[in-house]
Chains A and B, each alone.
Chain A
Amino acid sequence: MKNGEVLLDVKELVQYFPIRRGVLQKVVGYVHAVDGISFDIKRGETLGLVGESGCGKTTTGRSILQLYKPTSGQVIFDGMNLVELNGKKMREERKKIQMIFQDPYASLNPRMTVEEIVGEPLKIHKIVENSEIRNKVKELLELVRLNPAYIDRYPHEFSGGQRQRIGVARALALNPELIVCDEPISALDVSVQAQIVNMLEELQSEMNLTYLFIAHDLSVVKHISDRVAVMYLGVIMEMTSRDELYSNPLHPYTIALLSAVPIPDPEKEINRKRIILEGDVPSPVDPPSGCRFRTRCPLAQEICAKERPEFREVKPGHFVACHLVREITPGVFRAEI
């Protein structure tokens, strides 16, 4: 398959978590963590997934990897619907989709050495002979710019950035095609964040990787993404190319998120339209009817409470879910009352 072809196609993915109570564990409600999202990622591309904490980004990543059984929807990877695979087949497919975790302190087993951690996937999938694992792990450590001499150390002997590199080495061990990076730098010192992002970018071009890159603010993904999807309360609100999103955001939520990102140019800084977000994200147990963003949206109308806005392609490649976005004058789109 060539670059540019669709590698991952997520269709109407829904992930609810039942809330159980009482001795009989009766289901009393659901957390609507992901509520019908669709997007695709092309081979070799990086899709940034952005949204405030608690809006379902991690859940999206995990549902794609079938760590949770999706409530409904399809996750088509390389032409195969992962949702329908049985345990054994899925374990085979896991080789091709890997994950980098947010918290490098929690994602490495403290009782295992670097060799055991990075070597485990090699062993399970019999990628190399057992006698070769050690050498292979050393190669992988070099690949993530870690000194192979540390191979017998335990995770707690490393700094956060180094641990994250170990996590990346583990993810690369199976030579995957897609890597879900779940806020891989949020937990790190600012000083090492750039190092890790740069490394991920270099690895991407060296190994032709495809990334789903999750972040909670738009400044991080701006650097690494080709396209960006903005998520709010389990729903994707806007999705388009990076340049289009930053220069011409349409959804009020995207504008609000961008308002929090400082612009280096002082003139633009003064003139730009700002939406300051107030309050917290509502509970996903009982999300607002209609448009999920309406409780915090300064433009909200009656229709916003009644109907869920369709996720539509207003311009080629520019998707947005808002009732009010329309073409104001030919070629100019905006959310206006």
Chain B
Amino acid sequence: MSEVTNQPRRKSPVESLSQESREKLKNLNADIISTRKIGRVERFFGKENYRILKGLVTTPTSIVGLILIAFFVLIALAAPVIAPPLPNTDPYQMPRDGYSAQPKPPMSEWKSDVPPTPGWYTFFTGKEEWVHLMGTSSNAYDIFYGVIWGTRTALKTGVIIEFITLLIGILVGSFAAYYGGKVDNIVMRIVDIFMTLPFLLAALILAAVLMPVLGRSTVPSVIALTAFGWMNYARLIRGDILTVKERDYVLAARVIGVKDRNILFKHIIPNAIFPTLVIASMDIGTYVLNFAALSFLGIGTQIGYADWGQILSFARDWITQLGTYWYIVVYPGIVLVLFVLGWNLVGDAVRDVMDPKLRKLQESSQEG
């Protein structure tokens, strides 16, 4: 229960009215105009955000994208069922069938250290013996296993990178917008400098520096990609906060005596953050692609970790014979492309719904 300040209580407006005029007011309620009917979802998200969400689930390309994403999420969730790991081993370590450097083609027999045969395989083929569905890469790693468990790696690293990047971006952007003036100017110049760096090259260098220190794992790539990825979000949120800051309801909050910090957290950020959140979440595909690129270049997880980029990197040893060993590239390549495509389709739709005018402008200026 809140305390009520002990100054003499002022009469409430209604109390101060005569009975007669109260009655009069009641009658005047008749002039109420009927309000627009609004669903619960729209009420929860607010009009503008609802429009964006609605656009997401009604644009055809976006629907295709969402289906692709849902497909990968399902694969990631069901990985232990689709490709059961060897008992008592790290499931993210791809099982290997011996030590042969020579890749084996799809459907070839599994010889040693065979993981449990998945139930679905037996169900469809009636066979008990597990095979290399997509063949093996150099050093006899099972490609199918890597592709399935690599989906988990992709989603996990994608989400983590996105989350940290977004957090940094939002903190920096809000800080700049909130303090404004010189602070804003300096922070945004730093952002500009970061933006001029070629993203992947900068991340590559940083990850290469970090790897000897931190060891082989997903961590160096995650740090490197985060370090050079936050600037766009900082810009976005800053712009939106600056716009929202000028809205009358923020002034109204000051007029009724809301403290500055509460204005920021209750009135400004909730109204500014949604577009940044949506745009950012659609960048997961790009982060996964970049993560795979670093992996391909040999920076990242330990050898044998289930990770699309790494499987692709095995192809480097067979670059002259890819006609024969096409399966090392094609299977992980296809999943990576589909994964990125899914996010990009949704991302494009989001940007379209959010700002169709700006988008058209950009396109025409690129053409012209």
Identify which of residues 1-43 in chain B touch chain A, using a CB-to-CB cut-off of 8 Å. Answer: 1-5, 10-14, 16-17, 21, 25-26, 28-29, 31-33, 35-36, 38, 43
Interface residues of A in 190-217 (CB under 8 A from B): 195, 206-207
Q: Is A81 positioned at the interface, with any CB of B under 8 Å from its CB?
A: no
Contact A99 B14 (CB under 8 A): no
Does B212 touch A at the CB level, under 8 Å? Answer: no
Q: In the complex, what distance in Å separates the CA atom of A121 from the CA atom of B254?
A: 10
Answer whether residue B338 sits at the interface, using C-beta atoms and an 8 A cutoff. no
Q: How distant is A207 from chain B, measured CB to nearest CB, in Å?
A: 6
The answer to whether A222 has its CB under 8 Å from any CB of chain B is: no
Contact of B252 with A143 in the complex, beta carbons under 8 Å: no
Whether the Cβ atoms of A25 and B1 lie closer than 8 Å is: no
Q: Can you offer 5 A-B residue contacts whose CB atoms are under 8 A? A: A99-B255, A109-B271, A173-B256, A174-B256, A206-B16
Question: Taking each of B1, B14, B185, B270, which has the highest tally of chain A beta carbons within 10 Å of its own beta carbon?
Answer: B14
* Complex contacts, A128 vs chain B, CB 8 Å: 4, 12
Q: Assess whether A67 is in contact with B255, with CB atoms less than 8 Å apart.
A: yes
Contacting pair B29 A25 (CB below 8 A): no
Number of chain A interface residues as a range:
35 or more
B36 & A206 in contact (Cβ 8 Å cutoff): no
A67 touches B256 (CB 8 A): no
Question: CB within 8 A of A25: which of B33, B185, B252, B253?
Answer: B185
Would you give the 0/1 interface string for A121-144, flagging 1 where the beta carbon is closer than 8 Å to chain B?
101111111110000100110110
* Residues in B whose Cβ lies below 8 Å from that of A267: none
B346 shortest CB reach to chain A, Å? 24
List A contacts of B28 (CB < 8 A): 145
Nearest chain B CB to A20's CB is how many angstroms away? 8
**Are A170 and B252 in touch, CB under 8 angstroms?**
yes
Known: A111-B46, A130-B1, A142-B25. A157 touches B14 (CB 8 A): no
Residues on A with C-beta less than 8 A from B259 are 91
Q: Does residue A46 face the partner (Cβ distance < 8 Å to B)?
A: no
Distance in angstroms from A178 CB to nearest chain B CB is 12
Which of A25, A167, A207 sits near B16, CB closer than 8 Å? A207
Within 8 A of B (CB), among A144-183: 145-147, 150, 153-154, 156-159, 161-162, 167, 170, 172-175
Q: Tell me the bound Cα distance from A202 to B38 in angstroms.
A: 32
B359 on interface, CB distance cutoff 8 Å: no
Query: Once bound together, how far apart are the Cα atoms of A105 and B21, in whole Å?
Result: 30
Please tell me if B156 contacts chain A, counting CB pairs below 8 Å. no
Q: In chain A, what residue has the closest Cβ to B249?
A: A109
By beta carbon, the residue of chain A nearest B270 is A111
CB neighbours (8 Å) of A195 from chain B are 31
**Which residues 15-66 of A sit at the B interface, judged by CB distance below 8 A?**
20, 23-25, 62, 65
Interface residues of B in 176-207 (CB under 8 A from A): 181-182, 185, 189
Q: What is the CA–CA distance of A121 and B259 in the complex, to the nearest angstrom? A: 11
B residues near A110, Cβ cutoff 8 Å: 46-48, 249, 271
B249 touches A108 (CB 8 A): yes
Cross-chain contact B14 with A175 (CB below 8 angstroms):
no
- A146: which B residues are within 8 A, CB to CB? 29, 32
Please give the distance in Å from A288's CB to the nearest CB on chain B. 29
Q: At the interface, yes or no: A74 with Cβ under 8 Å from chain B?
A: no
Please, how many angstroms separate the alpha-carbon atoms of A24 and B183 in the complex? 10
Asked whether B256 lies within 8 Å of A94 as measured between CB atoms, the reply is yes
Q: Does A232 contact B (CB under 8 A)?
A: no
A 300-329 binary contact with B (CB < 8 Å = 1; else 0)? 000000000000000000000000000000
A130-B2, A150-B35 as given contacts; A106 in contact with B248, CB under 8 Å: yes
**Which B237-254 residues sit within 8 Å CB-CB of chain A?**
247-249, 251-254
Given A126-B5, A146-B32; A98-B255 close (CB under 8 Å): yes
Is A334 part of the binding interface, using a Cβ–Cβ cutoff of 8 Å? Answer: no
C-alpha spacing A301/B33, complex, angstroms: 54
Tell me if A101 is interfacial: C-beta within 8 Å of chain B.
Answer: yes
Contact of A206 among B3, B4, B21, B48 (CB under 8 A): B21
Contact (Cβ within 8 A) B35 A106: no
**Alpha-carbon distance A120/B5, docked complex (angstroms):** 16
A143 close to B13 (CB less than 8 A):
yes
Which single residue of chain B is at the shortest CB-CB distance from A118?
B256
Contacts of B43 in A (CB 8 A): 153-154, 157
Asked whether A25 and B181 contact (CB < 8 A) given A101-B252, A106-B247, A175-B13, the answer is yes
Complex Cα gap A145–B255 (Å): 23
B14 CB, nearest partner CB in chain A, Å = 4
Q: Is residue A103 within 8 Å, beta carbon to beta carbon, of the partner chain?
A: yes
Residue of B31, B47, B252, B271 touching A156 (CB-CB under 8 A): B47
B129-162 Cβ-contact flags toward A at 8 Å (1 or 0): 0000000000000000000000000000000000
Using Cβ atoms and an 8 Å threshold, which residues of chain B touch A248? none
User: Which of B35, B46, B253 is within 8 Å of A159, CB to CB?
Assistant: B35
For the complex with contacts A101-B248, A145-B31, A173-B256, 8 further pairs of A-B residues with Cβ separation under 8 Å are A98-B256, A101-B251, A120-B253, A129-B1, A139-B12, A139-B14, A147-B32, A206-B16
Q: If the complex has contacts A25-B182, A172-B13, are A158 and B35 also in contact, measured as CB distance less than 8 A?
A: yes
- Asked whether A69 is an interface residue with its Cβ less than 8 Å from the other chain, the reply is no
Complex: A167 Cα to B4 Cα, angstroms: 25
Residues of A within 8 A of B252 (CB): 99, 101, 107-109, 167, 170
| Shortest Cβ distance from A130 into B: residue | B2
Residue in B10, B25, B47, B181 whose beta carbon sits within 8 Å of that of A145 in the complex = B25
Whether A296 sits at the interface, judged by CB under 8 Å, is no
Taken together as a complex, chains A and B put the C-alpha atoms of A207 and B21 apart, in Å, by 11
Asked if B257 is at the interface of the complex by the 8 Å CB criterion, the answer is yes
Task: Pick from B12, B26, B46: contact of A154, CB below 8 A.
Answer: B46
Chain B residues contacting A172 (CB-CB under 8 Å) are 13
In whole angstroms, how far apart are the Cα atoms of A157 and B35 in the complex? 6
> Which residue of B has the minimal Cβ distance to A99?
B255
Q: Within the assembled complex, what's the spacing in Å between the Cα atoms of A24 and B185?
A: 8
B227 to chain A, nearest CB (A): 24
Q: With A101-B248, A109-B267 in contact, do A121 and B14 touch (Cβ < 8 Å)?
A: no
Report chain A residues within 8 Å CB of B264.
none
The chain A residue sitting closest to B26, CB to CB, is A142
A95 within 8 A of B: yes
Closest residue of A by beta carbon distance from B24 = A202
Most interface-central of A101, A120, A195 (chain B CB within 10 A): A120
The answer to whether B251 touches A126 (Cβ under 8 A) is no
B45, closest chain A residue (CB): A111
